[in-house]
Amino acid sequence: VFKVSGVRTLNGDYRNLFRRGMMGVEYALFRRGPLTMAPSQLGMFARSSEDYATPNLQFHFQPLSLDKWGDGLHPFDAFTASVCNLRPSSRGTVGLASPDPSAPPLIAPHYLSTDEDRRVAVDGLKLARTIAAQGPLARFRPEEYLPGADIRTDTDLLDAAGRLGTTIFHPVGTAAMGSASDPGAVLDERLRVRGIDRLRVIDASAMPRITSGNTNSPTLMIAEKGAAMLLEDAR
């Protein structure tokens, strides 16, 4: 998160009762304005280092800022540069808490549990700082708010990544598809649950590995292919 000067962001519009009201009126009457847009207005793919042949980072830039999703916007103008690792090597687990199917599952994400993921997290934060320091943004005098300009060492940056990081709503692979020889494969090549008749999983949990980008479109593709398989097998 970077504070900015000389420009108004959505933080400022949110703080001003009149402008906040006008946003609601504009949406209600014309279906346009800030309430019609997604939080991220700019995206970018990049490599965290020359070791990668293709981009392994995705940036989302938002003209707003907050401490965490669900909180109110900050009382100052700012923008957020979110960076995520597109191909994390850390692997989590999902288990049953009890025989009660309504009980919440036991979820252990194991974020940043590999050396590679820890290195990419630190390099991603450094790249975000490099972007904010570029000439076109300099006139807005960006001042780092989170994780904070005093966070300088790799150890401190890694700690900040662990404290501030989120899934960005892209969890996948909890019922991965794979070959019969793969001990971690829950589904076969037609999305059928192994060992249980007449049960399939047709969503992002079928992905054996996360796609290098937003998961929405790939999930729609899985759904369309899964629906076609259901029709084929019903004939």
- Report the catalytic residues: 170
CA-to-CA dists, residue 158 to 38, 113, 123, 166, angstroms: 28, 11, 9, 14
Contact in structure between 58 and 137 (CB atoms under 8 Å):
no
Rounded CA gap, 132 and 138, in Å? 8
| Chain CA centroid to CA 60, Å | 9
Closest C-alpha to 91, from 74, 115, 110: 110
- DSSP-derived 3-state class of residue 143: strand
Question: Which residue is associated with the tokens 């191909």?
Answer: 87
